[in-house]
Chains A and B, each alone.
Chain A
Amino acid sequence: MAEDLTGRDDSLDTSLIARWRGGDERAATALVERHAHALGRYIASLGERDAADEVVQDTFVRAFGSLDTFRGESSLRTWLFTIARRLVVDRRRAARRRRDVGNLDDSDAATEYTALDGMIAGEAKKRVWAAVGKLSPTQREVFLLRVNEGLSYKEIADVAGTTEGAARVHYHNALRTVKENLND
């Protein structure tokens, strides 16, 4: 069984945040190590793989700049995902203004995923990316938050701005579609 225990211990996050507030800069490194890769995966799932590094950095800079406003009502990871999502939306808006085109939400993501097909080594992984790339943006986001990060439907609803019920439906529809696409 492949276990990924990084980043799912909320009490450890709370302790690291307290240490960082107390001036321990090593706690910042530990926090980044715990969540950076999950954030990168999530940002890639939103169709911003090429900018994942940059968005991850911006997310942490923004989060650490306002850690005092973090109440711990959600997990730190969920909060980071929410910030990252907002940054991706802002980037899309800025790109849309620059290019003066219509809504990029769907078309841009599809283009990104098509381009990614050629960048990922391994036939099986290519097929997975292609299968996931055929999902609608909302389905893909919900599906990957559940599969890659193990977020609950409540957490997914908080991050993606939807409801638990809708998240559950999106997940199961996406899973069915991916299985069908992989079996084609």
Chain B
Amino acid sequence: MTDCPNVDLRESLPEYLNGTLSTARRVEVETHLAACAECTAELDTIRLVREAYDAAVRVDVASVVAALPRPNRVRMPAMRSWRHSHAFQIAAVVSFVALGGMSLAVARSFFNGDVAAGVDSVVVAGRGEFPMTDLPEIGFAGGLGDLEDEDLESLLTALETIEALPVAEPSTVVLGGTGRQGT
């Protein structure tokens, strides 16, 4: 049997069987099929092939579904220990530097201000007496980005050695001239 010369319509036969044609196109194909023995035979061949393959393969959907990953397992990457994440390390260093800076600022304003005008020296319990004139200048040049990994590690190590709770007895501050003691 020869092929129908209407190639455009023949091209639509698989989609016709799949039911994916528009209504208008489907009516057009059916009208043509009613008058074309070649296309009807071709459609029968295509249908026969589809039926042969449909019958030959069966898939157990339940077993496939059972093997699938759960949704939350797909996109949740394995989390690193939070204490070892870069975000935590940087946040810890920033907090350490910020708190240290605030403490220094408070201390310096205290020692330089009116309240501490009469303070001659600071006595740290068990560590001796330190004259106010010997207070060191402490600064932090550059940003955290300038620190190497080793510097960050050493800062973190230092941070971990600091007691979280205050010592039982506060250091003694000797106020010059008045003999007052405070904390």
A interface residues with partner B (beta carbon < 8 Å) = 1-5, 8, 20-25, 28-29, 32-33, 36-37, 39-41, 43-45, 49, 52-53, 56-57, 60-61, 64-65, 67-68, 116, 119-122, 124-125, 128-129, 132, 144, 146-150, 175-176, 178-179, 182-183
A–B Cβ pairs within 8 angstroms, 8 of them: A25-B71, A29-B61, A40-B58, A44-B56, A52-B57, A122-B55, A125-B51, A179-B41
Contacts of A20 in B (CB 8 A): 71
Complex: how many Å from CA A178 to CA B67?
A: 38
B50 within 8 A of A: yes
**Interface SS of chain A:** helix
Contacts of A178 in B (CB 8 A): 45, 49
Complex: how many Å from CA A120 to CA B16?
A: 26
Task: Give the Cβ gap from A157 to chain B, nearest Cβ, in Å.
Answer: 15
B72 within 8 A of A: yes
In the complex the two chains form, is A175's CB within 8 Å of B70's CB? no
Chain B residue at minimal CB-CB distance from A57: B64
Complex: how many Å from CA A49 to CA B53?
A: 10
B-side interface residues, number (CB < 8 Å): 39
B18 within 8 A of A: yes
In the complex the two chains form, is A44's CB within 8 Å of B74's CB? no
Contacts of A41 in B (CB 8 A): 53-54, 56-57
B interface residues with partner A (beta carbon < 8 Å) = 1, 3, 14-20, 41-42, 45-61, 63-65, 67-72, 74-75
Contacts of B74 in A (CB 8 A): 64-65, 67-68
Complex: how many Å from CA A29 to CA B64?
A: 9
Complex: how many Å from CA A60 to CA B67?
A: 9
In the complex the two chains form, is B71's CB within 8 Å of A144's CB? no
In the complex the two chains form, is B42's CB within 8 Å of A175's CB? yes
Contacts A60-B67, A128-B48 given; does A144 touch B53 at CB 8 Å: yes
Contacts A25-B70, A56-B59, A147-B50 given; does A32 touch B64 at CB 8 Å: yes
In the complex the two chains form, is A44's CB within 8 Å of B57's CB? yes
Q: Please pick, from B19, B63, B69, the residue contacting A4 in the complex, using a CB distance under 8 A.
A: B19
